[in-house]
């Protein structure tokens, strides 16, 4: 039977990791997968996480199973950072741990479908795995254009799809640091989105995988909190893989805001059943480390300081790119006012290949770059290479 399986292409983004590591050129630049790098090009473990892991090793006295909901201490400790002072909206929000943000998105979409969602509106472009998850779950995706040509959000498009949506429609929104464009809605735009969502009855699923890497932990939560304040119910997919640097430990959480507190029991009994049938329970280690950080004032401060350093460094890179004088077809200026790890260069797949072949610069074929892959030691080379392929 097994010869019936047709070969699938490797995930294009993850394939870049291997292509890059196989390249022997010493001045190569990795702008592929979304991993933060320091000014020296490293991705170190956060000091706050190292300290928490140390405590975990010393204090953990069992590896016995938790339930499908994972470490609820972790899930609950995150809530004030995501949802603000009234972290539960009067008890209407609850959550569970998931394997990374991907697990949270998958659970959110599958549960929305189980609850009756028939179509999901999604901005284009989006993180490629969003479409893959929808296709795997067999939920119909209805695309709208996320960005305008000038590098800002196409607010008319998103408001338009919400206003003209059908019953049983959902919409997937990026909470902050849009992947792949870096183009976030402004606070005023979020206000408008929240208002039309409240009127339309469209079910919001908010994917927030980069909180703190845009403008700050509070600032990056503005849109999410605004929407939750306006609508009766919503799902939230959260990732700690970037803002705690836990990538391979796969640390995420799924939250649901219900119309009534009483609805949560049924929602999470379904979420637990879906999780049990998919991954049974999430890996524990990273979530436990985050819980230790968030329950300790000193470690929380240290973590927030580390996050601020990352954000500031990416802002510097963005400012340098925005000021670069690149004649030709590739405009870098919009990168200066965008957020987070990513931005899109208006380059063709051929130019992406040329950058890889001739300059050892690796990026997704869509033209998405990981801003954090650039630093003072390689940014000049990058700008010169862009100028060459754009000429």
Q: Which two tokens stand for residue 197?
A: 């969502």
**Could you tell me the smallest distance in angstroms from the CB atom of residue 252 to ligand LMR?**
11
**Could you tell me the smallest distance in angstroms from the CB atom of residue 181 to ligand LMR?**
12
Q: Which of residues 108-167 bind ligand LMR (CB under 6 A)?
A: 127, 129
Nearest to 48 by CA among 303, 242, 294, 251: 303
Residue nearer to ligand LMR on the CB measure, 53 or 241: 241
**Could you tell me the smallest distance in angstroms from the CB atom of residue 179 to ligand LMR?**
5
Burial of residue 103 (number of CB atoms within 10 Å: 0-12, 13-18, 19+)? buried
From 104, 108, 194, 209, the catalytic residue = 209
- Residue from 97, 98, 126, 179 touching ligand LMR (CB under 6 A): that is 179
Q: Which residues contact 293 (CB under 8 A, 6 or more apart)?
A: 48, 49, 52, 244, 299, 300, 302, 303
Q: Decide if 209 is catalytic.
A: yes
The whole-angstrom distance between residue 5's C-alpha and the CA centroid of its chain comes to 31
Residue nearer to ligand LMR on the CB measure, 109 or 324: 109
The whole-angstrom distance between residue 270's C-alpha and the CA centroid of its chain comes to 24
From 184, 241, 242, 360, the catalytic residue = 242
From 127, 153, 289, 385, the catalytic residue = 127
**Could you tell me the smallest distance in angstroms from the CB atom of residue 106 to ligand LMR?**
12
The site map against ligand LMR for 327-356 (x = CB under 6 A) is ------------------------------
Residue nearer to ligand LMR on the CB measure, 212 or 231: 212
| Contact call for residue 326 and ligand LMR (CB under 6 A) | no
**Could you tell me the smallest distance in angstroms from the CB atom of residue 298 to ligand LMR?**
30
Residue nearer to ligand LMR on the CB measure, 33 or 332: 33
Nearest to 182 by CA among 341, 310, 317: 341
From 169, 207, 220, 249, the catalytic residue = 207
| Contact call for residue 246 and ligand LMR (CB under 6 A) | no
Residue nearer to ligand LMR on the CB measure, 33 or 251: 33
Q: Decide if 284 is catalytic.
A: no
- Residue from 16, 29, 30, 34 touching ligand LMR (CB under 6 A): that is 34
- Give the Cα separation of 327 and 331 in Å (integer): 8
Q: Decide if 153 is catalytic.
A: no
- Give the Cα separation of 306 and 245 in Å (integer): 10
Residue whose C-beta lies closest to ligand LMR: 34
Q: Is 313 left (phi over 0), alpha (psi -120 to 50) or beta?
A: alpha
Size (the chain), residues: 391
Q: Report how many residues bind ligand LMR under the rule CB under 6 A.
A: 6
Alpha carbon distances (Å) from 333 to 152, 213, 344, 379: 12, 20, 11, 15
Q: Decide if 28 is catalytic.
A: no
Beta bridge partners of 207: 174, 237
**Could you tell me the smallest distance in angstroms from the CB atom of residue 260 to ligand LMR?**
34
On the CB side of 84, how many CA atoms lie within 13 Å of its CA?
14
- Give the Cα separation of 258 and 264 in Å (integer): 6
Residue nearer to ligand LMR on the CB measure, 43 or 266: 43
- Residue from 16, 29, 33, 231 touching ligand LMR (CB under 6 A): that is 33
Residue nearer to ligand LMR on the CB measure, 258 or 307: 307
**Could you tell me the smallest distance in angstroms from the CB atom of residue 341 to ligand LMR?**
8
Residue nearer to ligand LMR on the CB measure, 129 or 329: 129
| Contact call for residue 310 and ligand LMR (CB under 6 A) | no
**Could you tell me the smallest distance in angstroms from the CB atom of residue 102 to ligand LMR?**
6
Q: Which residues contact 248 (CB under 8 A, 6 or more apart)?
A: none
- Give the Cα separation of 339 and 170 in Å (integer): 25
- Give the Cα separation of 319 and 63 in Å (integer): 46
Report the catalytic residues: 127, 207, 209, 242
Footprint on this chain of ligand LMR (rule: CB under 6 A):
13, 33-34, 127, 129, 179
């Amino acid at each position: 039977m097994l010869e019936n399986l047709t070969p699938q292409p490797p995930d294009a983004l993850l394939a870049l990791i291997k292509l890059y590591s196989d390249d022997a050129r010493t001045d190569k630049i990795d702008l592929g997968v979304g991993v933060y790098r320091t000014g020296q090009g490293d991705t170190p473990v956060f000091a706050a996480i190292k300290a928490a892991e140390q405590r975990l090793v010393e204090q953990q006295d069992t590896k016995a199973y938790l339930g499908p909901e994972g470490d609820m201490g972790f899930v609950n400790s995150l809530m004030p950072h995501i949802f603000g002072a009234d972290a539960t909206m009067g008890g209407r929000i609850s959550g569970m741990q998931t394997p990374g943000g991907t697990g949270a998105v998958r659970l959110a979409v599958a549960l929305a479908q189980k609850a009756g969602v028939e179509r999901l509106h999604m901005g284009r472009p989006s993180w490629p795995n969003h479409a893959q998850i929808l296709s795997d779950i067999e939920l119909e995706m209805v695309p709208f254009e996320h960005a305008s040509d000038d590098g800002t959000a196409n607010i008319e498009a998103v408001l338009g799809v919400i206003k003209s949506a059908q019953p049983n429609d959902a919409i997937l929104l990026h909470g902050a640091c849009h992947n792949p464009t870096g183009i976030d809605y402004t606070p005023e735009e979020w206000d408008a989105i929240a208002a039309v969502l409240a009127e339309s009855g469209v079910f919001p699923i908010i994917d927030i995988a980069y909180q703190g890497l845009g403008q700050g932990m509070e600032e990056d939560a503005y849109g999410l909190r605004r929407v939750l304040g306006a609508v009766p119910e919503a799902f939230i997919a959260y990732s700690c893989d970037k803002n705690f640097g836990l990538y391979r430990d796969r640390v995420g959480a799924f939250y649901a805001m219900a119309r009534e507190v009483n609805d949560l029991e049924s929602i999470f009994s379904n979420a637990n059943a879906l999780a049990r049938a998919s991954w049974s329970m999430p890996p524990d280690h990273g979530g436990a480390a985050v819980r230790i950080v968030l329950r300790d004032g000193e470690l929380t401060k240290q973590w927030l300081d580390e996050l601020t350093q990352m954000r500031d460094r990416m802002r510097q890179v963005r400012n340098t790119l925005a000021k670069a004088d690149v004649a030709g077809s590739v405009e870098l200026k919009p990168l200066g006012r965008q957020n987070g790890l990513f931005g899109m260069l208006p380059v063709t797949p051929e130019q992406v290949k040329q950058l890889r072949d001739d300059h050892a610069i690796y990026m997704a074929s869509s033209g998405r770059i990981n801003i954090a892959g650039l630093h003072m030691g390689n940014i000049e080379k990058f700008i010169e290479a862009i100028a060459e392929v754009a000429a």
